[in-house]
C-alpha cells in the first residue's frame, strides 16, 4: 500500500527484519549477575554489603523496608550465604516458611479488593468451551518486565533449593547443576526429578521453596498501562478468549496477575502441572501446546488447525519458534530492551516473529486489534 501526497508516492517505512540466527538475547543486568555468581565466595555478610554498596535497591525495584531488622535484599543475601550443613538446612526451611507466610498474608489482604485483584472464576474452574480465536499470554518477563530482575531472584532460590535437597557443598556447584538441567530439560525441576529418582523429590515442595517463596509483592506493582492495553484487546471482540500460557505452576501464575491488577481479564490458564510428575511438560515441548489447545477448547482436526488463528506473546524465542512451527497466526517476542518494533525471519520459510518492547507497541504493530 502507498500514500498519494501532492502527486508524490510515499511508501510506508519498512520494518527492520533480521534472521533468527542473528537475534541475540540481551543479557540481564550484568552487575547483578556478577554479584550473584560470586556471592558464594564472599566470606561474611559484612564483606558482601561492602562489595555491593553501590548496588541500588530502588533500581531493582526491591524495597529497603526492614523486616526483623533486614531489608528484602539483605534477607536474600543471607539466604545465599547459609552454609551447607544440617543446622543451616533447618534454618533455610524456617526462612522459607516465614517468607511463605508473609507472601500469603499480603495476597489475602488484596484479593477481591478491586476488579484487577479478583481472579476470573473461569481460570479456577476451566473454560473448554469451543472456540477458534485466542490470544495467548506468557507471564514471567512478559506481563511484567524482565528489568524487575525477578528471574535472577528465581535463580537464587532454585540454586539454594538444589543445595538443600541434594546436600551440595557449595552454591557454585548448585549453580552449574541448575544451568545443566535447564539446558537439558527446559525446567530445573524436571532435571531434579529425572536425574535423582532415589530422592523422590516433591515438585510441589520445590514450587513452595522457589516461586511461591519469592517476595513478589515487594517487586511487582499494579500496571495500569498494561491493564488498559489488555482491556482494549478484550473489548475489540477480535478474540473469543484471552488465555495465560506459562511454564510456572498455577499458584505463581495467579499471584503474578493479582499483583499486576489484571486477574479479571483472562479466560483460562495453562500451567506446568507439578502434580503430574511423570507427565510434566512445558513450553516448547509440542505436548504442552497440545494440552493448551485442549484446555482452551480450540477447534480443528490437527494441532496445526487448532492453532491457526492464535496470537501468542512470550519472552522466549524458543517457545515462539515452536508456535511458528505449529502454524500459529502471529507470534510476538516481547523484549523490554527494544526501542522500535522489528521482525525476525523464522526458520520456517515465509514466516516471521514480531518483536516489541512493550504491550503498548501492540497498538502500533497490530492496529487492527484495537
Residue 60, pLDDT score: 41
Torsions phi, psi of 227, nearest 5? -60, -40
3-state class of 20 per DSSP?
helix
Spell out a b/e string for 99-126, using b for 16 or more CB atoms within 10 Å of the CB, else e: beeebeebbeeeeeeeebbebbebbeee
- If we measure between CA atoms, which residue out of 277, 325, 268, 322 comes closest to residue 298? 268
Instruction: Give one word for 350, left, alpha or beta, with left for phi > 0 and alpha for psi -120 to 50.
Output: left
- In angstroms, the first-to-last Cα distance of the chain is 20
245-287 residue pLDDT tens:
999 999 999 999 999 999 999 999 999 999 887 778 899 999 9
Res 159 pLDDT > 70? yes
214-230 residue pLDDT tens:
989 988 999 999 999 99
Q: Which long-range contacts (CB under 8 A, 24 or more apart) does 89-97 make?
A: 89/164, 89/167, 92/160, 92/164, 93/164, 96/208, 96/209, 96/213
Q: In 28-81, where does DSSP find H-type helix?
A: 30-38, 45-51, 72-81
The CATH code that applies to domain 30-110+149-217 is: 1.10.150.450
**CATH class, 115-144+221-369 region:** alpha beta
Residue 26, pLDDT score: 59
Contact 91, 204 (CB under 8 A): no
Res 53 pLDDT > 50? no
- Cell digits of residue 35: 554479584
CATH 1.10.150.450 location in the chain: 30-110+149-217
Residue 72, pLDDT score: 60
% pLDDT > 90, the chain: 53
Contact 320, 312 (CB under 8 A): yes
Residue 85, pLDDT score: 74
**Which regions of the chain does DSSP assign to beta strands (E)?**
3-5, 8-10, 17-19, 134-137, 241-245, 268-270, 311-314, 330-334, 342-345, 352-356
CA–CA separation, 356 and 344 (whole Å): 11
CA–CA separation, 22 and 19 (whole Å): 5
Helix axes 317-325, 286-296, angle to 10 degrees: 70
CA–CA separation, 153 and 188 (whole Å): 14
3-state class of 47 per DSSP?
helix
DSSP letter for 12, please: P
The pTM assigned to this predicted structure is 0.86
Residue 36, pLDDT score: 56
* DSSP secondary structure, 186-222, as one string: SSHHHHHHHH-GGG---HHHHHHHTGGGS-GGGT---
322-337 residue pLDDT tens:
999 999 999 999 999 8
Q: What are the respective helix, strand and coil percentages of the chain, to the nearest 5? A: 50, 10, 40
CATH 3.40.50.1000 location in the chain: 115-144+221-369
CA–CA separation, 150 and 101 (whole Å): 19
Amino acid at each position: 500500500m502507498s500514500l498519494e501526497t501532492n502527486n508524490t508516492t510515499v511508501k510506508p517505512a519498512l520494518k527492520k527484519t533480521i534472521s533468527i540466527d542473528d537475534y541475540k538475547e540481551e543479557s540481564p543486568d550484568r552487575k547483578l549477575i556478577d554479584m550473584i555468581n560470586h556471592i558464594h565466595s564472599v566470606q561474611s555478610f559484612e564483606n558482601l554489603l561492602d562489595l555491593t554498596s553501590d548496588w541500588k535497591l530502588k533500581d531493582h525495584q526491591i524495597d529497603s523496608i526492614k523486616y526483623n531488622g533486614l531489608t528484602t535484599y539483605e534477607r536474600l543475601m543471607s539466604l545465599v550465604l547459609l552454609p551447607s550443613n544440617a543446622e543451616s538446612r533447618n534454618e533455610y526451611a524456617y526462612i522459607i516458611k516465614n517468607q511463605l507466610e508473609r507472601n500469603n498474608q499480603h495476597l489475602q489482604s488484596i484479593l477481591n479488593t478491586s476488579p484487577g485483584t479478583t481472579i476470573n472464576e473461569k481460570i479456577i474452574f476451566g473454560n473448554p468451551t469451543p472456540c477458534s480465536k485466542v490470544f495467548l499470554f506468557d507471564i514471567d518477563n512478559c506481563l511484567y518486565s524482565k528489568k524487575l530482575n525477578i528471574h535472577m531472584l528465581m535463580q537464587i532460590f532454585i540454586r539454594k533449593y538444589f543445595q538443600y535437597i541434594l546436600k551440595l557443598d557449595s552454591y557454585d556447584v548448585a549453580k552449574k547443576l541448575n544451568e545443566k538441567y535447564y539446558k537439558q530439560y527446559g525446567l530445573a525441576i524436571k532435571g531434579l526429578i529425572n536425574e535423582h529418582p532415589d530422592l523422590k523429590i516433591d515438585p510441589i515442595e520445590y514450587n513452595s521453596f522457589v516461586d511461591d517463596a519469592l517476595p513478589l509483592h515487594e517487586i511487582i506493582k499494579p500496571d495500569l498501562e498494561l491493564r488498559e492495553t489488555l482491556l482494549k484487546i478484550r473489548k475489540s471482540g477480535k478474540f473469543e478468549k484471552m488465555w495465560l500460557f506459562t511454564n510456572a505452576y498455577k499458584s505463581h501464575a495467579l499471584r503474578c496477575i493479582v499483583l499486576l491488577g489484571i486477574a479479571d481479564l483472562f479466560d483460562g490458564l495453562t500451567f506446568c502441572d507439578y502434580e503430574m510428575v511423570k507427565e510434566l511438560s512445558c513450553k516448547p515441548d509440542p505436548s504442552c501446546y497440545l494440552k493448551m489447545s485442549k484446555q482452551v477448547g480450540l477447534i480443528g482436526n490437527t494441532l496445526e488447525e487448532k492453532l491457526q488463528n492464535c496470537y501468542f506473546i512470550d519472552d522466549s524465542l524458543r517457545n515462539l519458534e515452536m508456535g511458528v512451527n505449529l502454524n500459529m497466526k502471529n507470534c510476538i517476542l516481547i523484549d523490554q530492551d527494544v526501542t522500535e518494533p522489528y521482525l525476525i525471519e523464522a526458520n520456517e520459510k515465509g514466516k516471521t516473529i514480531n518483536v516489541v518492547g512493550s504491550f503498548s507497541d501492540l497498538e502500533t504493530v497490530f492496529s487492527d486489534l484495537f
